[in-house]
Structure 1
Amino acid sequence: MTIFDTPERLTLRESARRFTEREIAPNIAQWEDDGKLPRELHASAAKAGLMGVAFPEEVGGQGGNLVDAAVVTEGVLDGGGSTGLLASLFTHGIAIPHIVQSANSDLIDRYVRPTLAGEMIGSLGITEPGAGSDVANLRTRAERDGDQYVVNGAKTFITSGVRADFVTTAVRTGGDGYGGISLLVIDKETPGFTVARPLRKMGWHCSDTAELAFDDVRVPAENLVGEENGGFVLIMQQFVNERLGLAMQGVATAQRALVLAAQYSKERETFGKPLASRQVIRHKLVDMHRRTAAARAYTAQAYEQAVNGSTTDPAVIADAVLAKRQAVDACEFVVHEAVQIFGGMGYMRESEVERHYRDARILGIGGGANEVLNDLAAKILGYA
């Protein structure tokens, strides 16, 4: 048994699976074609108790933690969902934790509670055309003007940026480097704030992604999250949780692809025998199982470290980084083999494994590219 497998969490996972089978699986192909999720799905997920599982009750959540969010991830993939759907439906998992952490009751009432109730959609705006993983060099500028900030700049690759009602936005309020960064909550309807264009992607088709532009956007000073020039620390503290979430997406995708491949290998006959009768196929399934189980065990260990420790602890940071790397490697291997086992059918859009194959590619890029995370781990572990 791991931290994911307590009786209460197994019940939560089953609840998320049933919700997905009922509300998501019959519709996800259409949402992929549409390039977005319907807003009412957020309200349905909130009513089912899934939106706020990782947030305290005092801010409108269900009182769980990031482990409970991971269990929901497993349940959604078990039921036929996708990581693209998770990224879109649960974007608030990266959009509002900074606000909750700041304990700003006004911002919590205006943004956190409605989001967890499924009434608003939030997103996180950090990546820029010239600054992705290099957060300390972002250029979007916010100049103080009385009781407002005037924001100019651009963001790109912003998940849920098309549909979002607000964007928790990283801006430069001070000098160069990490010490001059702040977070502002910017309402989508603010004059000068535009969605430059929705972006077409290799995967995550049902998750809308946008370029955002800010042209003299005036934001009330009370929308500052935490202290001025204190945003970098808030961002870094939440990176551990984001990386762990992506690790679980990799694990859950691998688990689902393995189940689908094993089932297909028993049903599909070639030359008069099921695929599963072929030693080469059975060995593929064993290798897929082995890598998936190892990744889940490492990810469970990293989650346990995080909930029992501090997200600023180098050991916790390293475990999150390495768990994500392990899970991404396992996921990429398993979805590749799953498509191979499905053969021509695995290449068809009507095949679920085809979606997982496409969606898996972003996991080694988002939340810190593999290469960036390897370098970070090398420094923490004393190899650099």
Structure 2
Amino acid sequence: MVRLYLSLAVVVAACGDSPSSVPSSDAPEAVVDAAMPDALDERVDDPCPATTACPVPPSLTRGAGLVAIDRCAFPLAPTTTDYAGTIAALSLKLDRVTMADVVADVNRTADVVSAGQVPGSAPGVKSAFRWNSGDESVAYWIPQGITGSFDGTATGKVGDRKVVLVSWYYDKDSDTGSTVEKGVRIAVVDVTNPADVKYRFALLVEPTGSATAPSYKSVPIHAGGLAWVGDRLYVPQTGTGFRVFDLAHILKVDSLDDRIGFDAASGTFAAHGYQYVIPQVQRISSTHACQSVFSFVAYDRTSTPPSLVTGEYDSATIQGRLYRWPLTESGALQLTKMDRVIPSAAYFMGESHVQGALARNNTWWLSSSRPTGSAGELVRTKESTTSVRLGWNDSPEDLAYDPQRDSVWSLSEGLNARYVFDAARASISP
């Protein structure tokens, strides 16, 4: 990733609202630097023809392992929208803060629970919590994706704090009387002390307007997964690809009104009552006809090069696919000289109802809601190898691996049963 440096001074402040080895920035720089696409010299030769036929699903057997397919059928490409000037302008009008500032400003307290209180049969649970009563019972904000400083920073921490991020999407139809899409909020959770977990929310936004009249809007996507890589937060957009958000340009708004963007009458910026916004810096979308679905995402630092893994939720068949997307040393998706991102691998899963996937040293774990009722299971699998089924939490969602604790983080979405936990990897490994 290259950066365009503009000599623009910023003031940094943080206060509260009402209740691999890719480095991440811990402090604002002395200038406003806006993320830009990769430079040409970081690109690689394109390994694929311009077009490739969509793979036809073979006869698949549940539990028989992954089936490799032609990766060339699934190219992505960045869109041409350049948000750099607008983000720089917003950084002049609003205080730019760091992730450390947000973590220091947590304003909600989670309900810490014991391993035995996590519904389901996940083995080896090491720590767990629920959200506060209001967030447990709210019907129109629903938790989905998970990542953390264990993905995002070389030390696994932000300063001296261990942080988990969880995405929540807004369901307007469940919010009686609402006429607006509020998009996605990110819970920034301080889990440094598992016995005392606190958090607060920031809103994902897409910059709008111009460098002379900047604003932003909400991002109405499902956000079924998260991957924090350096200063980038990757969020899957179900039928499209990735939206990428800039964690080096978190902004503190100057109004807590329940509206979005700049209001000319008051001269202030708001984010539906949230104090902080995280701006979108890039979109990367499918450029093929094979109808890839981006239901979840995880970061795999054990692959060469490190990669993002994504997959497709499919409740009707076992033909959902998995993909591995290579990253550059800076944590950007690897572009070819044809301006494409080509997966380094693609598979049919041979499983249904998959809500999250994690890969480590070519072993894959898939969280599935296939069991009857709200029960979940964890499937451990490889290519052409009989899968192993393990117990897991009820109403399972995304997965993330924490190398510092050698554990797997996951969560559940059920109303009044929203648990976040980490389980020892040894308990789910051969």
What is the TM-score with the length of structure 2 in the denominator? 0.23
Q: Which structure shows the bigger proportion of residues in strand conformation?
A: 2
Structure with bigger RCO (C-alpha 8 Å, 6+ apart): 2
- The structure whose residues are more often helix, as a share, is 1
